[in-house]
Amino acid sequence: MVNLIKVRNFISAIESNIVLNDLSPIVGFFRYCHFEAHSDFNSNISSLPSLPTKKVSKTVGIFWDLDNKPPKSFPPYDAAVRLKNAVAEFGFVRYMIAYANRHAFSYVPPEVMAQRKERKELNRLERKGIVKPSVPYKCRVCGRKFHTNERLINHFKQIHESEQRKRLNRIESARGKKRLNLVAQYSMKMEKYRNAARDVLTPKIGYGLAGELKRAGYWVRTVSDKPQAADVALRNHMVDLMDKKLVDCIVLVSDDSDFIEVLKEAKLRCLKTVVVGDINDGALKRTADASFSWQEIMKGKAKAEAGSVVERWKDKDILKRLEWTYDPATEKELCYSDFESEDSDLEEFFSGDEDSSVQQENPNPWWKLQPATRGVNSFSQSER
C-alpha cells in the first residue's frame, strides 16, 4: 500500500512538472515566484520575453476632385486601386471620397472613344467574314462560345440581362427576412453577371466612372451643375473630418488652387498633406508636405517613395520638438516668477536685525562733514 502511494505521488509530480513546462513564460514566471521565491528575482524578470507593442498607424483620407482630375488616360478601377495602394504606405486608409457633377460622369475620354470606334469597326469586319478571331468569344456567365462579338452581345442581352432584371425585381418586391434570403441566394449570380457585363456591355452613360470607383471602394457623390459646387462640397467634407479629428493625413487629388487654404489649415492643425496632380510647379504641391503625379502613381514609383517620405516626416517632427520657440506669455510668466522670488528674498533679508558692521547710508550731502569726522579732524590739528 505504501509503495502504491509513493508511485502515485511520483506520477503526480511528473505531471505537474509537464504542465508547468507547457505554460506560457509569463504564467510560468508568476507561478515560479509564488511557489519558489528566489534571491535572483530581478534577473528572472529581465530574462522574460517582452510583450510586442502595437504600432499605431495614422488615419488617411483620400479626397478626389473628379471635376478637376478625372482618370482620363487610365482605366478608372485600376487608377483608384493603385492610388489606394500607394496612399496605404502613409497609414490606414479609412476614407475614400470623390465628388463630381453630372458632366464629369457623362464625359468620355478620347482614348475610350478611339477604343470604341476600333471595336465597332472590328465587329463590322467579323460580321462580313473578312476577319475571324483566333479564339472564339466565350460568355463568362454560362460558358457558351461564339464566333463574333455581336452574337455574344446579343446572347448576353437576351438571356443574362433579362435574368438579372428578374432577380432585381424579385428582391425589390420582397420584404423582411424573405428579402434577405433572396439577396443571399442571388449574391454570387449577381456578382458574376456584373463582372461579365463590365467586359461585354458598353456603359449607357459615360464610360462607367462612378461604377468603377464604387467597385474600388470609394464613396462617390454627384453634386449640382453649379460652378465650383464639387469644390465647395469636397472642401466642406474635408473641414468636417478635420474638426472631428478623424484624419491624420489628407491626400488631395486635384490641381485646383482653391484648396490652398484648406491645406494650410490642415498644416496648422499638425496634419500631413499629400497632393496628387500633374502640374509640377503648382501652388498645391508647393503648399503640401509631399506630392506625386499620376504617372508615379500608376508606375508604382509613389508607393516606393512613400516610405522615405514618412521617415522624413518623423525626422522633422523630432527636430521640431527639439527647437526652441519664443512664447511671449510663457516668458512673461517666468520673468514675473523670478521677480517675485527676488522680492521675497529681499523681504526676508531686511526683516531681520540689522548688522552693526553694515554702514548705514548718510542722508546728508557729500560736502557736509559728519560730526564724527569733524571731531577726528580737530583732534589731529591740536596734536600738530
> Do residues 142 and 130 lie in contact, with contact meaning Cβ atoms separated by under 8 Å?
no
299: confidence class by pLDDT, cuts 50, 70, 90: confident
Classified by CATH at the fold level, domain 64-103+214-321 comes out as: Rossmann fold (3.40.50)
Measured between alpha carbons, how far is 202 from 22 in angstroms, rounded to an integer? 63
* In the predicted structure, residue 90 carries a pLDDT above the cut 70: yes
In one-letter notation, the amino acid at residue 25 is P
The predicted model scores a pTM of 0.64
> Three-state DSSP class for 159?
helix
pLDDT given at position 45: 44
- Stronger pLDDT, 370 or 37, i.e. the higher one: 370
Q: Which letter, b or e, does each residue of 357-383 get, where b requires 16 or more Cβ atoms within 10 Å of its Cβ?
A: eeeeeeeeeeeeeeeeeeeeeeeeeee
Q: What average pLDDT does the segment 300-322 reach? A: 82
pLDDT given at position 23: 44
pLDDT given at position 70: 85
> Do residues 249 and 236 lie in contact, with contact meaning Cβ atoms separated by under 8 Å?
no
In whole numbers, what is the pLDDT of the chain averaged over residues? 78
* In the predicted structure, residue 28 carries a pLDDT above the cut 50: no
Instruction: Give the model confidence (pLDDT) of 131-172 as tens digits.
Output: 888 899 999 999 999 999 999 999 999 999 999 999 999 999
Going by C-alpha positions, the residue among 234, 271, 276 that lies closest to residue 252 is: 276
Strands 92-100 and 59-65: parallel
